[in-house]
Structure 1
Amino acid sequence: MPYELIAILMFSTMMVMLLTGQRVFGAIGFVAVVAALLLWGDRGGYDLGFSALMKLMKWYPLLTLPMFIFMGYVLSESRIADDLYRMFHVWMGGLSGGLAIGTIGLMVLISAMNGLSVAGMAIGATIALPELLRRNYDKRMVTGVIQAGSSLGILVPPSVVLVLYAMIARQPVGQLWLAGVVPGLVMASFFVIYIAIRCKITPSLGPVLSPEERDVGWPEKLRLLSAGLLPLGIFFVMMVPFVNGWTSLVESSAIGALAALLAAVLKRRMTWAVFETSVRQTLAISCMFMWIILAALAFGAVFDGLGAVRAIEDLFTERLGLSPWVILILMQLSFIVMGTFLDDTAMLVIVAPLYVPLVGALGFDLIWYGVLYTITTQIAYMTPPFGYNLFLMRAMAPPEITLRDIYGSILPFVLVMVCALTLVMMFPQIALWLPDYVYGR
């Protein structure tokens, strides 16, 4: 059987298994091991899984994964996010659309606390959304704000998804995190500019808070400022030693986890329930990601053995005569399609064995491509009619917010994100400047 046909059969089998509701790592790992057994016999098939496991266990930066997840859950379960929103409420309530702008700031800081977009969505929907609706903010506006803000979770460090990309693409985690900083802040700035302009034109979308709500006195304002900026302080305590070369990435992740734990203890919010929930969630998510990485390594090894990447490169460049940029854009469009029914980790694991080597062969930077991947998958998450985030938002939103409202709310923010993506594609140094500066010194 031709290798091209084997590769197509593997992908089609995997997609059928995913559509039947199988777990991502189960479907991908099963297809990889069965294909290896059929192609290379018992010894080759068994060696494939064992080799992938040993490669995973020897990858030292993987230790950052449970550290950062634990840090995020400690800060969120101890209600640090409540202090953050209260700070934005008091300091920015006097602006038209100020609370919506403050919600974007809240999401940026939550992203620095917990590198998962779902965590930002959950916190925004439970803390910010009821407050915004109660103060007569337009329901479509605020629904879009929370969905767009949560998209920063897998771009701003410490992004858990970029750790997964780093393992599969065999790229340094530290460089990927630094590459996500400037594009993440640029996208957040675009969101803020859009909200400010839109509420300036139509003030009823984001009414100013009454003086009675904002007038809490300077002592209380300063107290809220110090409490609200605590997660930002933890982020700097963790990242500054790493950026300056004083600590390794793993050591910095341990500093962040200990700093979060200490902050919760000092604020007298570290109860046994908070600690137990944080540990349980950390264990569950870490194990999930490890299984996904293991399946991806096994699947990628089969494709390396088949030479499928070289065959696809020849198809696009030699037979079809497509330019590298056209191929790259087609890859990004495929993420948009897959995002209608898959999450970001599933998309990466499915296409990484093909896309990552192909991107490198076409002469593109894999660090830069990691940033493009994260932005594109978040756009896919929020693209109607079947975006993953749209239904997640519907599950968390109150009954008065309909699915039609959610669809209508996200379109302007998707256009803003497409502008940010285009900017990063046209000017790769937006993503590469910071890692080049830090690692090139």
Structure 2
Amino acid sequence: MSYEMIALLMFASMMLMMMTGQRVFAAIGFVAVVAALSMWGTGGSEMGFSAAMKLMKWYPLLTLPLFIYMGFMLSESGIANDLYDMFHVWFGSLRGGLAIGTIILMVVVSAMNGLSVAGMAIGATIAMPELLRRGYDKIMVTGVIQAGSSLGILVPPSVVLVLYGMIARQPVSQLWMAGVFPGLIMASMFVIYVVIRCRIQPELGPVLDSEERDIPLSKKLSLLKAGILPLLIFFLMTGLFLMGITSLVESSAVGAVAATVAALIKRRLTRQVMEDTLRKTLGISCMFMWIILAAMCFGSVFDGLGAVRAIKSLFLEQLGLSPWEVLILMQLSFIIMGTFLDDTAMLVIVAPLYIPLVAAMNFNLIWYGVLYTITCQIAYMTPPFGYNLFLMKAMAPAQVELKDIYQSVTPFVAIMILALMLIMVFPQLALWLPTQYYGG
């Protein structure tokens, strides 16, 4: 059997195992180990051991549990609730104002967290009940929360971009900067859509009652204080890193400490909050570790087969596809895989194949990291098995049915596809900021 067929068989076996419901790390690792032992005998076991040692020596990996801890601490301590109260007062007098405030809340939470799960939890448990109680359309509200929470994997400090940087050997600071403008552009497009939709159909996003709107200016100004702590945490964490004062790992530690101090200042650092935060942090961190370990083992076997060179030859030489056609096919494959995999699994499964192929086609790997992340956002919200769709169903009130969730994402997926096309056609939208800051 040729090496190309072995590589194809490995990939097909892995996808088949995951479609049967096996855990992602178990499917990836099992196929890698079986392939290594079958081709290289007992000596193949050293590939897995080497991958484990390489993982343990990855100093930047310390950032993952620290970023995750920071996000859960801010969420569990209720600081995000304070932010929503502020947006509720300041945007309630506009048609669709609370939906706009929810999108802005998601951007702020993303800047504090780096994951989409926390934003989804905050939006579904805090914002959605308030929006529904005030007569907002449940379909539009559901779409707003799903689209807004997806920004967590694009806006810095995105954990997904940290993982991409580790695997693609690209500087995380440049990846974070590359995600700023695309994230803000996408959030702005969401806001514009809500404004236009609510102007055409005012009943979808009614203004607040006069009793709720008529709040003294002094109280409105006092509510602005709710935004000071999150902004301070974001500056301490991201600002110090981009200024070169702290390293990536030190920056994540600053963010974790700052989030804990913020909860302490707010008098919300209880035993229960700390216990819930640590338990969730440990669970997510261990999941990431196992998936990355399995993927590195799989990648080493794949690389040993020469599969990357073979697929490059297939696409560019035998089939005669242009680099742009190959890139579009790669993005479509991400969307398909995203119907049943999360972003981390998608990245580590195809990284050994796609990243060297992108580099071989002379595309910028920083730019491609942004494309990958936006495609993950689209995949998260694409029926029938989008990751965010079922998270929303699990967290939403009973009155929000699955068909409502499916219907709600259509306009936002269209907006995301438009944003993806803009970034593909105009790479400088992602590359201008890191180029200006770092040069070259």
Greater shift, 222-231 or 88-97, is seen at 222-231
Structure-2 residue corresponding to 1:149: 148
Is the contact made by 2:67 and 2:252 (CA closer than 8 Å) also made in structure 1? yes
Is the contact made by 1:155 and 1:180 (CA closer than 8 Å) also made in structure 2? yes
Structure-2 residue corresponding to 1:415: 414
- Please state whether the residue corresponding to 1:122 is helix, strand or coil: helix
- Please state whether the residue corresponding to 2:423 is helix, strand or coil: helix
Q: Could you tell me which amino acid in structure 2 is paired with residue 226 of structure 1?
A: K
Structure-2 residue corresponding to 1:433: 432
- Please state whether the residue corresponding to 2:409 is helix, strand or coil: helix
> Residues of 1 paired with 2:343 and 2:240: CA distance?
30
Q: Could you tell me which amino acid in structure 1 is paired with residue 4 of structure 2?
A: E
- TM superposition score normalised by structure 1: 0.97
Structure-1 residue corresponding to 2:283: 284
Structure-2 residue corresponding to 1:233: 232
> Residues of 2 paired with 1:214 and 1:67: CA distance?
40
> Residues of 1 paired with 2:227 and 2:215: CA distance?
16
- TM superposition score normalised by structure 2: 0.97
Indicate the percent of aligned positions where both proteins have the same amino acid: 74
Residues 168 and 122 of structure 1: CA distance in aligned 2, closer, same or farther (over 3 Å): same
- Counterpart check, 1:35 vs 2:29: no
The alpha-carbon deviation at position 391 of structure 1 amounts to 2.1
The alpha-carbon deviation at position 388 of structure 1 amounts to 2.1
The alpha-carbon deviation at position 163 of structure 1 amounts to 1.8
Q: Could you tell me which amino acid in structure 2 is paired with residue 381 of structure 1?
A: Y
Q: Which runs of 5+ in 1 are unaligned?
A: none
- Counterpart check, 1:26 vs 2:26: yes
Structure-1 residue corresponding to 2:13: 13
Q: Could you tell me which amino acid in structure 1 is paired with residue 379 of structure 2?
A: A
> Residues of 1 paired with 2:228 and 2:416: CA distance?
26
> Residues of 2 paired with 1:167 and 1:34: CA distance?
26
Structure-2 residue corresponding to 1:338: 337
> After TM superposition, where is structure 1 displaced by more than 3 Å over at least 4 residues in a row?
none
Structure-2 residue corresponding to 1:161: 160
- Counterpart check, 1:396 vs 2:395: yes
The alpha-carbon deviation at position 333 of structure 1 amounts to 0.7
The alpha-carbon deviation at position 107 of structure 1 amounts to 0.4
Structure-2 residue corresponding to 1:190: 189
Q: Could you tell me which amino acid in structure 2 is paired with residue 86 of structure 1?
A: D
The alpha-carbon deviation at position 276 of structure 1 amounts to 1.4
Structure-2 residue corresponding to 1:210: 209
Greater shift, 182-191 or 56-65, is seen at 56-65
> Residues of 1 paired with 2:58 and 2:433: CA distance?
24
Q: Could you tell me which amino acid in structure 2 is paired with residue 7 of structure 1?
A: A
Is the contact made by 1:68 and 1:114 (CA closer than 8 Å) also made in structure 2? yes
Per-residue CA deviation, residues 66-109 of structure 1 (Å, 9 max, x unaligned), is: 11111111100000111011000000001110000000011011
Structure-2 residue corresponding to 1:71: 70
Structure-2 residue corresponding to 1:180: 179
The alpha-carbon deviation at position 344 of structure 1 amounts to 1.3
Is the contact made by 1:84 and 1:229 (CA closer than 8 Å) also made in structure 2? no
- Please state whether the residue corresponding to 1:247 is helix, strand or coil: coil
> Residues of 1 paired with 2:55 and 2:438: CA distance?
25
Q: Could you tell me which amino acid in structure 2 is paired with residue 311 of structure 1?
A: A
Is the contact made by 2:157 and 2:238 (CA closer than 8 Å) also made in structure 1? no
Structure-2 residue corresponding to 1:219: 218
> Residues of 1 paired with 2:240 and 2:381: CA distance?
36
Structure-1 residue corresponding to 2:361: 362
Per-residue CA deviation, residues 187-228 of structure 1 (Å, 9 max, x unaligned), is: 001101111111112111111111211223222212211113
Is the contact made by 1:61 and 1:173 (CA closer than 8 Å) also made in structure 2? no
The alpha-carbon deviation at position 296 of structure 1 amounts to 1.2
Q: Could you tell me which amino acid in structure 1 is paired with residue 104 of structure 2?
A: G
> Residues of 2 paired with 1:197 and 1:55: CA distance?
51
Q: Could you tell me which amino acid in structure 2 is paired with residue 439 of structure 1?
A: Y
> Residues of 2 paired with 1:225 and 1:91: CA distance?
9
Is the contact made by 1:168 and 1:296 (CA closer than 8 Å) also made in structure 2? no
Is the contact made by 1:167 and 1:293 (CA closer than 8 Å) also made in structure 2? no
Is the contact made by 2:47 and 2:297 (CA closer than 8 Å) also made in structure 1? yes
Is the contact made by 1:115 and 1:160 (CA closer than 8 Å) also made in structure 2? yes
Structure-2 residue corresponding to 1:110: 109
> Residues of 1 paired with 2:435 and 2:59: CA distance?
22
> Residues of 2 paired with 1:94 and 1:70: CA distance?
36
Q: What is the aligned-residue RMSD (CA, Å)?
A: 1.3
Q: Could you tell me which amino acid in structure 1 is paired with residue 68 of structure 2?
A: I
Is the contact made by 1:93 and 1:209 (CA closer than 8 Å) also made in structure 2? yes
> Residues of 2 paired with 1:72 and 1:307: CA distance?
40
The alpha-carbon deviation at position 280 of structure 1 amounts to 1.7
Q: Could you tell me which amino acid in structure 1 is paired with residue 62 of structure 2?
A: L
> Residues of 2 paired with 1:347 and 1:438: CA distance?
30
Structure-1 residue corresponding to 2:92: 93
> Residues of 2 paired with 1:162 and 1:5: CA distance?
32
- Please state whether the residue corresponding to 1:235 is helix, strand or coil: helix
Q: Could you tell me which amino acid in structure 1 is paired with residue 30 of structure 2?
A: F
Q: Which runs of 5+ in 2 are unaligned?
A: none
Is the contact made by 2:337 and 2:379 (CA closer than 8 Å) also made in structure 1? yes
The alpha-carbon deviation at position 256 of structure 1 amounts to 1.0
Structure-1 residue corresponding to 2:374: 375
The alpha-carbon deviation at position 275 of structure 1 amounts to 1.0
The alpha-carbon deviation at position 20 of structure 1 amounts to 2.1
The alpha-carbon deviation at position 437 of structure 1 amounts to 2.3
- Please state whether the residue corresponding to 2:245 is helix, strand or coil: coil
